[in-house]
Amino acid sequence: MIKRIMTDVDVKAGIQQILKRVDAAYEQRPKELKGDKPLLVAVSKTKPVEMIIDAYSVGQRHFGENYVQELVEKSQHPDILAQCPDIKWHFIGHLQTNKINKIIKLPNMHMVQTVDSEKLANNLNSAWQKFEKENKQPLNVLIQINTSGEEVKNGVAPSDATKLYKYIKENLKELNLNGIMTIGAFGHDYSKGPNPDFISLMQVHKQICEENQLNEKDVQVSMGMSDDFEKAIEMGSTIVRVGSSIFGYRAKKPSA
């Protein structure tokens, strides 16, 4: 059940402020980095429907959710369906294969950002193929890469990313492989230099483009969150996932 929560957070102002910061960071990006102007995905996990509607009302369309059940509830909420007809949902959490069918049939499901294995990709491809939907297009996906090497993080190793990219591109026609993403380690000290996770992801991006003869603009890069999205944009990110800077800090999800 999604709780109604009273809040003093001005979501509309938050969206507008973040978009200004996105534009400013984009202007600082070196010209040799040819990626598109970054897309803002507002991470609305644990936040109430009212906040999502507020953000939508000022033009925000892309929203990210980490938990399957929360995405199921929010995407089918009557207020969302009535007031946010063009909303685009991104799933940005770890997706278990037994939860695939729960999310692919949801209204306005736009992208799964966390494909990290051939098994998950195969299962998504098979499920989407069976899903009957009017004017159905391939499902948008990104490959999640574990750039930090942390055991608690999901994602394919950077050394295996190009192999998975090629496998999906050549074999899974129900998936529209847009690019790559990373979560990365939290709290990098920028006084010590650029974020190594961002460096690693951009190296993978370059390798994918070179091996597949692709234009750099044709492979999206999703990296950067509330505390570092500007640095990520300057290094080449084309998708940023921002939550607390828009919606306020969230409480940790209670243990089951």
Domains and their CATH numbers in the chain: 11-242 (3.20.20.10)
pLDDT at 254 > cutoff 60: no
What pLDDT digit, counting tens, does each position of 39-69 carry? 999 999 999 999 999 999 999 999 999 999 9
What pLDDT digit, counting tens, does each position of 151-203 carry? 889 999 999 999 999 999 999 999 999 999 999 888 899 999 999 999 999 99
Confidence of residue 249 (pLDDT cuts 50, 70, 90): low
Q: Residues 141, 95: contact at Cβ < 8 Å?
A: no
Beta bridge partners of 144: 181
What does pTM read for this prediction? 0.92
Scanning the structure block, which residue is given the tokens 């991104």?
90
Please give the Cα distance from 118 to 250 (Å, whole number): 33
